Amino acid sequence: MSETVYNRIALLRAERGVTRRQLADTLGVHYQTVGYLERGEYSPSLYLALRIADYFDVPVEVIFSTTPFPRIGERTG
């Protein structure tokens, strides 16, 4: 069983015009940590995941998933 955590951090940052450094500074982490998260090279703690969701003002499951998100424009069902 894979322990990969998929995320939409880069998508949300782009939509809102937020840089990695700005997000990192707000969260109190190094900007490279945001890059590792976005690339799936690092899975956030529950605390960090909840803080990211709070920052973007969306439920945590909008940002993080244990299954890949569908590509934008991809139809499901």
Q: Which two tokens stand for residue 20?
A: 């990695």
Tell me the CATH number at 36: 1.10.260.40
Q: How confident is the model at residue 70 (pLDDT cuts 50, 70, 90)?
A: confident
| Per-residue pLDDT, 73 | 73
Domain that holds residue 13: 6-62
Q: Which residue has the higher pLDDT, 55 or 72?
A: 55
Domain assignment present for 36: yes
State the average pLDDT for the chain: 92
Domain assignment present for 25: yes
Domain assignment present for 70: no
| Per-residue pLDDT, 8 | 97
Domains contained in the chain, number: 1
Q: Which residue has the higher pLDDT, 1 or 14?
A: 14
| Per-residue pLDDT, 44 | 95
| Per-residue pLDDT, 30 | 97
Looking up tokens 């939409």, which residue turns up? 8
- Alpha carbons 12 and 63: distance in angstroms, whole number: 8
